[in-house]
Structure 1
Amino acid sequence: MSMKSWVPGTQCVAKSDHSKPKPGELAYRKGDFVTIMEVSQTKGFYIAQHNQSGEEGLISASSVREREAIRVDPNLSLMPWFHGKISGPVAVQKLRPPEDGLFLVRESIRHPGDYVLCVSFQNEIIHYRVMYKDNKLTIDNAEYFYNLIDMIEFYMKNKGSIATILLKPKQKEGTKSAAEQLSKAGWLLDMEKLILGNSIGEGEFGAVYEGEYMGKKVAVKNIKCDVTAQAFLEETVVMTKLQHKNLVQLLGVILHNGLHIVTELMAKGNLVNYLRSRGRSVVDVKQLLRFSLDVCEGMEYLESKKLVHRDLAARNILISSENTAKISDFGLAKAEPKSTDNAKLPIKWTAPEALKKEKFSTRSDVWSYGILLWEIYSYGRQPYPKMALKDVKEKVEQGYRMEAPDDCPPVIYTLMRSCWESDPSKRPSFRKLREKLEKEHRDCKSTSGS
């Protein structure tokens, strides 16, 4: 059998317990995550770091498997037991042959908007109507749930006032259980190991908390609405494929109370607030250049993966405790951009062709990157200052471009202007931008004598 070879940074999952390590070996439990640091001198071994404890040691190549990226699959569902609008009799047919605890959820045809939980028990099919009360769901006015995911999770563990505990979901034809796929690939985390802290932000779709997962500081985005959670599942699946020092790293997901997306915690918040609250006296030009390069390298990586971000802006760049800038919110990131809801587009950051013809590409990301550079060098000012939003689109189409921010190095302003070429094909690639910024970084170092 040929030896697997993993590059440093590869994420792996332990296949078994290793609780009595020899000196120099890493201790781990089945299901723990480790990061490969380097190939060891000992044949068949790697030096790896335990993701939770941070300890480093030897690990046998045969005792771990690579954490897989999950394929983006439209049939992946957080609610594979949800069959949509089907009638009672059809539901009964689907739950044959009878089996205690076999169940599905459907939308009521008689009471549109209400749900029905259908359960097989002692050769009968029992239909429980799920009612909405004060924005929550309930069957018996005793237990209340934010959404169906929660409700099913509860009744799979507790009988409550229904005839039997739910034992086996009847999957809708063609769907795949997201929970199973996430679990198999090693991305499903355990709610009991998560300690939730304070809310650190209120997103459009739910709160973001700081927390700790097995000793590691994390940020947790909780999406309660099941329809939105389903939409975010796709974003999360895209994130399982991506690993780069300038992208916020996904650690995994928890299915409880909707969807919890767990990522590394970025202690210093977003770049706009970072720059605004500290200002010129604290943040020097070298640091601005470092941030610009960080973002550019992350975008070059997305460009290499043929992913378009579509919402690149300083508010979506987060800063780690070590002052590294990382790109977050692949919320709109799509492999093949389809039309989006134009009302949601951030006009001041979006390229003219994307606003007009919804043509999103890496080159429209480059336009947004130019705006982001302007935000960085103006220390977090709102782009197109003093201009009304409705005028921006029109003026920009007529050829208007922002002036350089105060004290902005001419080289950087030239780069900004190149990002704002009307013809997308004339804009530089992220690779070209990175090369120019790196040259500037070297010059900046040699002149400052550091």
Structure 2
Amino acid sequence: MRKLNANLREYLQHNHSKLTWEERIKIVNEVTIALSRIHSENAIHRDLHSGNILYNQYKNFWHISDLGFCGPADKPLKSIYGNLPYIAPEVIAGKGYTFASDNYSIAMIMWEISSKLPPFANYENDYNLAMDIVNGMRPKIVSGTPLKYKKLMEQCWDADPTKRPDIFTIRVKIRAINKLCYQNTIRDVPNDKI
């Protein structure tokens, strides 16, 4: 049995200041690989957040865990569960979970990776926060976030789920950002060019 050493939230709290953008993007890439496997099975995770992303130190890889609410996309669930800051606005509004709602959660994870903090950490997880999310409130982009990363994050948390990229498009964009980030470490290109 493999040992998973830490969840992403704990890992970021202890290591954030040491992480390069290349390392942060590697985490996002591995999470999107894991989510693409779930989506390719026509399943939706429905409870994706940093506490459900675990690091396997032996394999040096990130995995998605807690598949308790994961299920077939063609069997919709209307109940709302999960960690409020990561729940898509349309789900909060009662429209049910979709592939796009998982991709909204990816945006919140991307934001957490950029900031070290869970989204909306300074807010109570209550009705007011839920309504603010439904009405378009998103976390403030952290200074120094690479431009292409920022744009992808904003696309993934778009209020209109039909405008969010699918997980396979997200993977392609993350790989492209990773390539630019790698070039940045070699040529010292400013973050706004990534």
Aligned-partner SS, 1:357: coil
Whole-angstrom distance in 1 between the partners of 2:184 and 2:84: 38
Whole-angstrom distance in 1 between the partners of 2:29 and 2:15: 20
Q: Which amino acid aligns with 1:310?
A: R
Whole-angstrom distance in 1 between the partners of 2:147 and 2:186: 21
Structure 2 contact 21–181 (Cα < 8 Å) conserved: no
TM-score under structure 2 length normalisation: 0.88
Aligned-partner SS, 1:279: helix
Q: For each residue in 1:349-407, what CA deviation from the matched residue of structure 2 results, as whole angstroms up to 9, or x when unmatched?
A: 1111112214111111001111111111112x121132232322111222222111242
Q: After the TM superposition, list the runs of 4 or more consecutive aligned residues in structure 1 that deviate by more than 3 angstroms.
A: none
Whole-angstrom distance in 1 between the partners of 2:53 and 2:181: 23
For the pair 1:314 / 2:64, whether they are aligned, the reply is no
Structure 1 contact 308–337 (Cα < 8 Å) conserved: no
Structure 2 contact 88–101 (Cα < 8 Å) conserved: yes
Task: Give the alignment partner of residue 372 of structure 1, picking from 109, 122, 130.
Answer: 109
Map 1:57-206 → 2, pairs under 5 A:
none
Could you say which residue in structure 2 is the equivalent of 1:292?
Answer: 28
Could you say which residue in structure 2 is the equivalent of 1:389?
Answer: 125
Whole-angstrom distance in 2 between the partners of 1:410 and 1:392: 27
Whole-angstrom distance in 2 between the partners of 1:374 and 1:448: 21
Q: For each residue in 1:130-150, what CA deviation from the matched residue of structure 2 results, as whole angstroms up to 9, or x when unmatched?
A: xxxxxxxxxxxxxxxxxxxxx
Structure 1 contact 295–326 (Cα < 8 Å) conserved: yes
Map 1:318-357 → 2, pairs under 5 A:
318-321=54-57, 322-335=59-72, 336-340=75-79, 342=80, 344-357=81-94
Could you say which residue in structure 2 is the equivalent of 1:304?
Answer: 40
Return the structure number with greater helix share.
2
Aligned-partner SS, 2:54: strand
Structure 2 contact 93–134 (Cα < 8 Å) conserved: no
1:325 positional shift:
0.9
Q: Which amino acid aligns with 1:401?
A: R
* Structure 1 stretches lacking a partner, 5+ long: 1-217, 219-263
Aligned-partner SS, 1:326: strand
Whole-angstrom distance in 1 between the partners of 2:10 and 2:52: 11
Q: Which amino acid aligns with 2:150?
A: Y
Structure 1 contact 314–376 (Cα < 8 Å) conserved: no
Aligned length: 183
The structure that has the greater radius of gyration is 1
* Structure 2 stretches lacking a partner, 5+ long: 188-194
CA-atom RMSD in angstroms: 1.6
For the pair 1:274 / 2:30, whether they are aligned, the reply is no
Structure 1 contact 378–406 (Cα < 8 Å) conserved: no
1:307 positional shift:
0.5
Aligned-partner SS, 1:318: strand
1:323 positional shift:
2.8
Whole-angstrom distance in 2 between the partners of 1:355 and 1:427: 17
Task: Give the alignment partner of residue 165 of structure 2, picking from 428, 431, 439.
Answer: 428
Whole-angstrom distance in 2 between the partners of 1:401 and 1:279: 21
1:346 positional shift:
1.8
Q: More deviation in 344-353 or 300-309?
A: 344-353
1:435 positional shift:
0.7
Return the structure number with greater strand share.
1
Structure 2 contact 114–145 (Cα < 8 Å) conserved: yes
For the pair 1:444 / 2:181, whether they are aligned, the reply is yes
Could you say which residue in structure 2 is the equivalent of 1:187?
Answer: none
Greater RCO (Cα-Cα under 8 Å, separation 6 or more): 2
Could you say which residue in structure 2 is the equivalent of 1:265?
Answer: 3
